[in-house]
Amino acid sequence: MAAQPVSRMLRRVLRSSVRSCSSGAPVTQPHPGEPSQPAVEVPSGRRRFLREHAAPFSAFLTDSLGRHHSYLRISLTEKCNLRCQYCMPEDGVPLTPKADLLTTEEVLTLARLFVKEGVDKIRLTGGEPLVRPDVVDIVAQLHQLEGLRTIGITTNGISLARLLPQLQKAGLSAINISLDTLVPAKFEFIVRRKGFRKVMEGIHKAIELGYSPVKVNCVVMRGLNEDELPDFVALTEGLPLDVRFIEYMPFDGNKWNFRKMVSYKEMLDTLRQQWPELEKLPEEESSTAKAFKIPGFRGRVSFITSMSEHFCGTCNRLRITADGNLKVCLFGNSEVSLRDHLRAGASEEELLSVIGAAVGRKKRQHAGMFSISQMKNRPMILIGG
Ligand code: SAM
């Protein structure tokens, strides 16, 4: 393997070949469909004790600002059975040849390594992760990893109703389903394909199988679906949904422009006109979402404010693309190929030094929406949201 830049701290850690991870807290696998957080509140004295006496988090997954990266998103494929306007350029994307994509064994080798270092949540994404034929098997194998508390998936929902019973049995514990409109004809316009009914079936299957909350991701775009916000919120009255309104983000080829973006504040103002009682919920650690609830409603509403109020300060996420590149920031264009190192026969320690160096270079925050919109990055379909 070619010599890699390794920070002094990493060299020290490598020399002593100590793998420092684990929070020290007991780790339990949640049952599929159960929330990943412990149902019982840990008394604050005990929480303080655990924090003070816990082993330090992996140095390789800690950046120069002390952010601990315990959440890994793995893209399983570049392919998708929809063509969402905001995600996929109109002419499609050139797909990476199959031989250059991570194999199942490579996905699992990397997952194992990250979990050993302290990653406790993995989300499978894409492309559309459910088009990968061995997705159930991958979930089952991830479920064997000690220390992995949550296995989530982000899906467009087209094949969900069919696959969810198997995925749940395999150990899938959290689901995000993308749905940007409740109007079937508009659905076809936004995603450039049919399938509204299948997505709704997927949402209802997830509820039926006990996932709670079922997260629904809705990218809000002016002139397209911002008039439907109240209809989405109304769904949370009787259903255990977390409807997440996502600010429209710029990626290569998605024709983003500032006027099409509806900010979190604007969405909130709209909803408060109808529901002045909309109540802010306490922020969860490292959460990207600002959560709200209407008293008496079963579900809740959240906002992903990556553009108007970024949450880089508490970012704990890393991404691996389907072709095996590690991306430390969704909006950064620096990437390192873990696939190439794996295929060159890198040892665990060598891989960790590559990962540690990339994490160490992670910037304090993204460049801001206007700079991002001018910057070269991948289209979202090739990153995995
Ligand atoms: N195919 C899956 C799906 O549709 O959920 C997973 C991949 S998709 C890239 C992951 C998430 O990214 C989706 O919830 C999608 O809505 C979101 N996304 C894609 N492009 C976006 C954009 N330009 N702005 C905001 N969110 C976006």
Tell me, in angstroms, the distance from the centre of ligand 1 to residue 83's CA. Answer: 11
Cα 45 from Cα 326, distance rounded (Å): 38
Cα 180 from Cα 191, distance rounded (Å): 9
- Alpha carbon 259 to its chain centroid, in Å, reads 26
Mutate to test the pocket of ligand 1, among 123, 154, 158 (most ligand atoms within 8 A of CB): 154
Pocket of ligand 1 (CB under 6 A): 80, 86-87, 125-126, 128, 154-156, 178, 217, 219, 246, 248-249, 251, 254, 380-381, 384-385
* H or E stretch covering 105: helix 104-116
Tell me, in angstroms, the distance from the centre of ligand 1 to residue 121's CA. Answer: 19
60 part of a folded domain: no
Classify 115 as helix, strand or coil.
helix
> Which ligand 1 atom is the nearest neighbour of the CA of 248?
24
63 part of a folded domain: no
What's phi and psi for 242, nearest 5 deg?
-115, 100
The tens-digit pLDDT sequence of the chain (385 residues) is: 333 332 333 333 322 333 333 332 222 333 344 433 333 334 466 556 555 655 678 999 999 999 999 999 999 999 999 999 999 887 888 999 999 999 999 999 999 999 999 999 999 999 999 999 999 999 999 999 999 999 999 999 999 999 999 999 999 999 999 999 999 999 999 999 999 999 999 999 999 999 999 999 999 999 999 999 999 999 999 999 999 999 999 888 788 888 999 999 999 999 999 999 999 999 888 788 999 999 999 999 999 998 898 878 889 999 999 999 999 998 888 899 999 999 999 999 999 999 999 999 998 888 777 777 777 777 888 887 6
Query: Residue 244: how many CB atoms within 10 A of its CB?
Result: 23
Domain that holds residue 310: 69-383
Give yes or no for a cis peptide into 213 (omega within 30° of 0): yes
Task: Provide the domain count of the chain.
Answer: 1
SS3 of 184-227:
HHHHHHHHCCCCHHHHHHHHHHHHHCCCCCEEEEEEEECCCCHH
DSSP code at position 21? -
Atom 2 of ligand 1, nearest CA residue? 155
1 part of a folded domain: no
The CATH number of whichever domain residue 290 belongs to comes to 3.20.20.70
300 part of a folded domain: yes
